[in-house]
Amino acid sequence: MTQSSSEVTVIGAGVIGLSAALALQERGCQVRVLDREGVAAGASRGNAGGFAFSEIVPLSTPGVMRKAPGWLLDPLGPLSVPPAYALQIAPWMLRFWRASWKDRYHASMSAQAALMALSRDMLMARIKDIGAEDMLRREGQLVLYEGRAEFEASLPGWEVRADHDIAFSLLRSPEEIATIQPGISPQFDHGAFTPGWYNISDPALWVERLAQEFCARGGEIGIANVTGLQQQGEQVILRSDGADILTGRAVICAGAWSHQLARSLGHRIPLEAERGYNTTLPAGAFDLKTLLTFSGHGFVVSRIGDGIRVGGAVEFGGLKLPPNYQRARTLLTKAKKFLPALKTGGGTEWMGCRPSMPDSLPVIGTVAGSDRITYAFGHGHLGLTQSAGTARLVADLISGATPAIDLHPFRQERY
């Protein structure tokens, strides 16, 4: 067994893990980060780069299951389940349906709003702390709708955002849309613009920047495939493919693999690998002014570096099935139709696994029965957005401070 020199070991070198590591350093902890592959190797690398603080509405909205059969019948549609995975995903889908009931839906939305507000404040503090203002793009987000019916169906969600003081403007013609983003097909005749939506210039470079700051402040990042944990008195044993590691405390931020580690502690947490696809096009592909969300088609177009990233959709296929890159190509074909001037050549395809919970809320809290282990995973589409807020909560828990928001909705015991 190897004795770790670290007081706290964070498992996972994605945006959640490295944000937590920095926050723990600020509380005076000696921290080491371990990852099975390295910095930003998973969903933190290839996401759309958006800090989506306005997205407080859970994916499991009331009535969502009436739409699901139509989605599932299209293998390249916004939501798909490969036949080989259908039985395995069924229990998760049942919980997803239950989360859409009004009692749980409203509770999840309130919890999401609290985490978003905290995350926005903590992100601004972190950007100032590391001098990364040049990486932040304040370009907003434009959600696009095809026709009045789709637009009007979205209005309850915008009313909810208004109740939470989220600024937006509703657009009711292609001409209004063009004042924000020219070059969109006129079939999208309604929209909504949220100016408070920020983007990072490149999500992979952002996580690498966090890693550099962490190491410069005395942190250590190592490669290790941690397969399980066990608390033993006032220490935690990390089981790995190599020698076991002994540490004072552990934080599980392993993304879509986190539920496997939780299982070693006796917890069966309904975390699913929600596979997302994208294509990143080179510089000059399109003159994009703001992040575009094609709501009815389940994908976004964002600016990454000097290029354009077209990606999204949902495929529940677990961690083992091979990628189906035809999904990325389908999104790119749609994007070309919706943005006629888009140049689609020279792109790089990618697939990553988002760690998704049925109610759209992450698991954040001290592990039941193991008070020296902390969970911080399951953020779905919102890992980048909620990273700084989650980091603050992890630091509160480990330092013994009162958490900045109520953590009851995020507890593991809810399942």
Rounded Cα distance between 211 and 197, Å, is 24
User: Quick one: tokens of 412?
Assistant: 């593991």
pLDDT score at 80: 79
* Residue 98: pLDDT over 90: no
* Residue 2: pLDDT over 80: no
State the average pLDDT over residues 360-387: 95
**β partners of residue 107:** none
State the average pLDDT over residues 405-412: 96
CA dihedral 404, 408, 410, 415 (to 10 degrees): 170
* Residue 405: pLDDT over 80: yes
**β partners of residue 361:** none
Provide the CA 3 distance to its chain's centre, in angstroms. Answer: 33
Percent of the chain with pLDDT over 70: 95
State the average pLDDT over residues 372-378: 98
Element (H, E) at 174: helix 174-180
Q: Same structural domain for residues 373 and 226?
A: yes
pLDDT score at 147: 94
* Cβ contacts of 56 within 8 Å, gap of 6 or more: 109, 112, 113, 116, 160, 161, 164, 166
pLDDT score at 370: 92
Q: Same structural domain for residues 86 and 147?
A: yes
* Cβ contacts of 123 within 8 Å, gap of 6 or more: 51, 387, 388, 389
Domain boundary among 331, 356, 381: 356
Tens digits of residue pLDDT in 166-209 = 999 999 999 999 999 999 999 999 999 999 899 999 999 999 99
Q: Of 28-37, 60-69, 266-275, 361-370, which gets the smallest average pLDDT?
A: 60-69
3-state DSSP percent of the chain in helix, strand and coil, to 5: 40, 25, 35
* Residue 67: pLDDT over 80: no
**Which of 394-406 are b and which e, b meaning 16 or more Cβ less than 10 Å from the residue's Cβ?**
bbbbbeeeebbbe
pLDDT score at 88: 87
CATH code: domain of residue 189: 3.30.9.10
Closest CA to 63 of 135, 136, 143, 157: 157
Q: Residue 134's CB: how many other CB atoms inside 10 A?
A: 8
Closest CA to 12 of 276, 242, 249, 223: 223
Q: Same structural domain for residues 366 and 239?
A: yes
64 confidence band (pLDDT: 50, 70, 90): low
Characterise 325 by phi-psi region: left (phi > 0), alpha (psi -120 to 50), beta (else): alpha
Owning domain of residue 373: 2-45+204-270+360-414
Q: Is 300 a member of any domain?
A: yes
Q: Is 152 a member of any domain?
A: yes
Q: Same structural domain for residues 96 and 167?
A: yes
* Residue 61: pLDDT over 80: no
Q: Same structural domain for residues 301 and 351?
A: yes
- Do strands 348-356 and 272-281 pair parallel, antiparallel, or not at all (unpaired)? antiparallel
Q: Same structural domain for residues 208 and 350?
A: no
Q: Same structural domain for residues 164 and 19?
A: no
Q: Same structural domain for residues 162 and 194?
A: yes
Q: Same structural domain for residues 244 and 371?
A: yes
User: Residue 264 to residues 259, 319, 335: CA-CA distances in angstroms?
Assistant: 9, 18, 43
* Residue 352: pLDDT over 70: yes
What sign does the CA torsion over 393, 397, 403, 405 have?
Answer: positive
Q: Is 92 a member of any domain?
A: yes
* Residue 5: pLDDT over 60: no
Tens digits of residue pLDDT in 201-223 = 999 999 999 999 999 999 999 99
* Cβ contacts of 122 within 8 Å, gap of 6 or more: 388, 389, 391, 392
Count of the separate structural domains present in the chain:
2
Rounded Cα distance between 357 and 24, Å, is 25
Provide the CA 299 distance to its chain's centre, in angstroms. Answer: 14
State the average pLDDT over residues 133-142: 96
State the average pLDDT over residues 39-43: 92
Q: Same structural domain for residues 266 and 277?
A: no
Domain boundary among 356, 375, 390: 356
Q: Name which residue leads in pLDDT, 298 or 117.
A: 117
Tens digits of residue pLDDT in 261-295 = 999 999 999 999 999 999 999 999 999 999 999 98
158 confidence band (pLDDT: 50, 70, 90): very high
Q: Same structural domain for residues 193 and 209?
A: no
- pTM confidence score: 0.93
CATH code: domain of residue 208: 3.50.50.60
Q: Is 108 a member of any domain?
A: no
Domain boundary among 338, 356, 374: 356
Q: Name which residue leads in pLDDT, 139 or 71.
A: 139
Q: Is 53 a member of any domain?
A: no
pLDDT score at 288: 98
Q: Is 128 a member of any domain?
A: no
Q: Is 111 a member of any domain?
A: no
pLDDT score at 199: 94
pLDDT score at 296: 87
pLDDT score at 66: 65
Is 209 in contact with 132 (CB distance < 8 Å)? yes
Is 361 in contact with 313 (CB distance < 8 Å)? no
Q: Same structural domain for residues 79 and 181?
A: yes
Q: Is 121 a member of any domain?
A: no
